Structure 1
Amino acid sequence: MMFNFFAKRSDHPLADSKELKRIIAELHVDKPAKAVDEVSGWFDSLQHVENFRVDQFFDVLRQLDEAAQRHLLRVARDYLLAARLTKLEEERLWTRSYRYWGQVATLYRDCVERARLAPKSKGSDAFKASVPLALVRSQAARCNQLKWLAFRYGSADEDLWRSLGETYLLAEGAGNAQKAVPLYPARKGLCTVAQQYLHAIAFFASSMDSLMPVQIELADRLIAHFLPHFVLLPDCRPDSVYWVDAAAGTAPLRLARHPGVGRPGLRFFSPGTALPALEELLHRVERGEIPSDLNLGGEYAQRALLPVLRHLHLYWAKCPPQRRHTRHAVKTRMLVLFGFDDSYSLFSGAASRPGNDAGMDDWVVENVSLGGFRAQVGEVGSGRINIGALLAVQPEGGDNWMLGVARRFTRRDTDGASLGVQVLSRQALSIELRPRRRGFSAAVAIPGIWLQDRGEAGILRIVLPLAGFNVRETLEFSHQGKRRELIPMELEEAGAEYEIGCFREQAAT
């Protein structure tokens, strides 16, 4: 950004306080996307403005940013919750928000840089009291960029982590890293630059690539709620899990080994007391209680919140999950069918392969392990995949279909995306289950996919359609001329269109 440090009055329309007030008042109140676009356009116009005192420039930026906040929240809500968005509409909402947060982060940092280069000017002197707020908002905006990248399963580049690290160290050097200020007028509580950097690291450590976008938003809110429990220190502790070099601008790295000699930007991250606090909340939610002080940005049912809490419980542990099986690099093709209905038809045994090839995709597998595989997914295929989606897959040249579930999704810039798939069963069989009611079997059948090669003796794992599992309802089915009676034990997992239930088999009466 180019600035003119002379005392001439700027001819930019936003330099006129009355015009600024009118512009803010006339934002598209009923059209949040257009309002964000309008503010973003004004940000573009400020990038090469001349003759703007830094304190006045910051005040204009601050007011525009504050006016945009409620519109940004509605855009995010539409992106996460609106039904039947087209791919183009989804892309526009994502680009609009990600670009906004990048713009505003840069402009706030430019204010600080301009004051640093001319510390004795009147504008810099007047701006001095606002430096902590400018730094906190810049850091918070970068955190929002991390979240929006996670919504698309993209990875943050070095520039983003470098900006987070530089802002943290700049604030620390100026004694502002722990300076608590209100982030935005409508937001409760105080915020610091150090907290925002810690939030970014905790977000990274929480493995967002295995959550759905709405779940990522919930996880981000939970991180904010538990943020005082996390720890970021210059020294390594026994419970440290990650390390980061803020000066180098690198992403956090797992503490498999010590990073070596100490250096100014080296910091060590640990969950601190976050895990026991999370466990307490998890138990309360399991009992149907959602605390009133838990700000999730909206009302969410117990069913929506529990999977996110359980996910975070895994990744905030002192020993987070690690790969259990060795991966082996391969290059082979894989046929893929999507969803419960097609998988049920396939495993019914009625045909060796489905007749509806139009619903089938073709992937290139990059590596395999005992537990699953990772594949390259083209743009067409990636648009049909959600985390937790049920998949029927068959390796090229094979005659056996397997049942899997999409676990980790990473978008790539050049060749579509990369998807990690967990294999649920290599021997799946479609069955028809009937609830037992008052001594006889009900007439209406429930479709199920029996995972025959997984589970303990006497314990059956069965994939059911959504809401098909009822812990109070005994089921039965026939297999090889034998009637089998199942006592429900627990709901193991729930996806968007299916559930996996665990059942104990008992002798049929």
Structure 2
Amino acid sequence: MMFNFFAKRSDHPLADSKELKRILAELHVDRPAKAVDEVSGWFDSLQHSESFRVDQYFDVLRQLDEAAQRHLLAVARDYLLSERLTKREEERLWTRSHGYWSQVATLYTDCIERAQRDPKSKAGDAFKAFLPLALVRAQAARRNQLKWLAFRYGSGAEDLWQALGTTYLVAETTTNAQKPLQLYPARQGLSTVAEQYLHAIVFFASSMDSLMPVQIELADRLIAHCLPYFVLLPDCRPDSVYWVDAEAGAPPLRLARHPGVSRRGLRFFSPGTALAALEGLLHRVEHGEIPSDINLGGEYAPRALLPVLRHLRLYWGKCPPQRRHTRHAVKTRMLVLYGFDDSYSLFSGAVPRPENEVAMDSWVVENVSLGGFRAQIDHSATERINIGALLCVQPEGGDNWMLGVARRFTRQGPDDAYLGVQVLSRQALSIELRPRRSGFSAAVAIPGIWLQDGRETGILRIVLPLAGFNVRETLEFSHQGQRRTLIPMELEEVGSEFEIACFREQSAT
């Protein structure tokens, strides 16, 4: 099929069908990262070649892109799941994948624009059959760029939203926006340009800056699974939550007020019945079942999936979470220690050990609210902080340590990073808990940090080490000479190295 229609012989090696077949066959099968680099190198050569007709150019691009897909999946798995990656290796994997999607999106867009400039030419006419696939792949590539930016909590997606909007409108103008196509030969199901645009909007609305990278990947796949339930329309509905102007190329905005007069690129987004579908899925996972029809890209335990489902449930409602407390601009410093062990030690009344004082960070806090603060952090801190990390923080000049958790991470350029921290408690106390099953004195102690503020009477919130909570196990501890008994209620949150559990205190008899 490929090169029988060449008008003149190109001197590019990919113009020879046998050579192209050989190149594709000899990609590094056992070295996915190297294979992606090779394809990217061929993309570079295509971008600077003027010897291809647009239809020929697209067909070569299509085959290279298809050959790279399984290698890209392997690179993504390494980036998300490998536990022994150095920061340099992680950076290389990220740069390779993000760069690939940026490059291939540009090339598909080049094909579309070249054909638009000369639609009545022989090459432009031949390309018409390829246009729907070029559009949907360009849109999917831009959406993947958004995801890889989210993995690094990066900003600078404005150009992506401009490209997503432009491609969506071109597809509408050419009646291709709703045309279902198989995105890649090995991928199940069909997709459209409009669905890819909607997927990007849902992704944006789902607040990925408060999830860890592997959770972002799971959320992205859950969005794909639930995508048919969302709605994107030119008219505002009572349940519309966001609006987007595809022509202006801006990211979606919360529908605090109507954007005004109707215009060509204006679209309104609503969750439709997605929340009900997600609730049903959450119920099944809470009972230990992961439906087989969901493509998660791998095998995950319900414990890994539940926090993502609960996060999406918050943001897919008709009234997504909004900031509850007013922020106040400040410029102050905050001392910071990391992790459960040092937090437990501090709230036991211990003075920070000398080795911890060396490792203690000092952050510049930019704004504060009743719920937490936003701080500028340096490069060394970004290497040891994950979303969900437990933090001990103390305002400069103060004598009270607070317990917090890293919630939102944002990069603004290569050197500037900002972390949003939620304060869990301004009055915490370390305690030793013991299971009641075999007698108070005989049981092995479980360390816990009691969050003493902000909870209703008779309900205790306690931070435990991972796997410290057992819904079937009653716990006891001593406080001010009294023995207190705790009945487990629910696991409120699972962080990177801790759990927050709720207990009901049993009345003394």
> TM-score over 0.5 for the alignment?
yes
For residues 82-140 of structure 1, give each alpha carbon's deviation from its aligned partner in whole angstroms, at most 9, with x where no partner exists.
Answer: 01210100000000000000110111111111111122222222221110000000000
Q: Is the 8 A contact 1:332 1:396 kept in 2?
A: yes
Output the amino acid matched with 1:202. V
The answer on whether the counterparts of 2:158 and 2:250 sit within 8 Å (CA) in structure 1 is yes
SS in 2 for 1:22: helix
Aligned counterparts of 2:484 and 2:368: Cα–Cα separation in 1: 35
Contact in 2 for aligned 1:348/1:431 (Cα 8 Å): yes
**Partner residue in 1 for 2:344:** 344
Hey, what does 1:79 align to over in structure 2?
79
How many Å separate the matches in 2 of 1:204 and 1:448?
Answer: 36
SS at match of 1:129: coil
Select between 134-143 and 256-265 the one with higher mean Cα deviation.
256-265
Query: What secondary structure is seen at the aligned counterpart in 1 of 2:129?
Result: helix
Distance in 2 (CA, whole Å) between partners of 1:500 and 1:234 is 43
Paired residues for 1:305-454 under 5 Å: 305-351=305-351, 356-413=356-413, 415-454=415-454
- For residues 434-480 of structure 1, give each alpha carbon's deviation from its aligned partner in whole angstroms, at most 9, with x where no partner exists: 11124444342111111111311111111111111111111111112
2:128 aligned partner, one-letter code: K
Q: In the alignment, which residue of structure 2 is the partner of 1:257?
A: 257
Query: What's the CA shift string for 1:224-266, capped at 9, x where partnerless?
Result: 1111111111111111111111011101111111111111111
Structure 1 range deviating more: 485-494 or 11-20: 485-494
Point out the more displaced range, 345-354 or 194-203: 345-354
Equivalent in the alignment of 1:218: 218
Using the TM superposition, give the Cα deviation of residue 348 of structure 1 relative to its aligned residue in structure 2, in angstroms.
0.9
Residues 162-188 of structure 1 deviation map (CA, whole Å, 9 limit, x = unaligned): 000000000100111111110000101
What amino acid does structure 2 have at the position aligned with 1:351? V
Measure, in 2, the Cα distance between the counterparts of 1:89 and 1:442: 47
Distance 2:20 2:150 in 1: 34
Which ranges in structure 1 are unaligned for 5 or more consecutive residues? 1-5
- Residue matched to 2:3: none
- Equivalent position SS for 2:391: strand
Deviation per residue, 1:472-493 (Å, 9 max, x gap):
1111111121111111111111
Look up the equivalent residue of 1:212 and give its one-letter code.
M
1:82-97 map, 5 Å? 82-97=82-97
Count of residue correspondences: 504
Q: Is the 8 A contact 1:35 1:71 kept in 2?
A: yes
Q: TM-score, normalised by structure 1?
A: 0.97
Distance in 2 separating the partners of 1:274 and 1:414: 36
Identity level (%)? 83
Match of 1:180 in 2: 180
Aligned counterparts, 1:200-215, within 5 A: 200-215=200-215
Give the 5 Å matches for 1:96-175: 96-175=96-175
CA RMSD in angstroms comes to 1.4
Residue in 2 aligned with 1:3? Answer: none
Aligned letter for 1:423? V
Aligned residues of 1:10 and 1:50 also touching (Cα < 8 A): no
Q: TM-score, normalised by structure 2?
A: 0.97
Pairwise CA distance, 1:352: 6.7
Q: How far does the alpha carbon of each residue in 1:45-97 deviate from its partner, in whole angstroms, 9 at most, with x for none?
A: 11121221211111110110000000000000000000121010000000000
Paired residue secondary structure (2:447) = strand
SS at match of 1:175: coil
Contact preservation (8 Å) 2:434, 2:440: no
Residues 241 and 270 in structure 2, CA contact (< 8 A), matched pair in contact too: yes
Q: Which runs of 5+ in 2 are unaligned?
A: 1-5
Q: CA deviation at 1:10?
A: 1.5
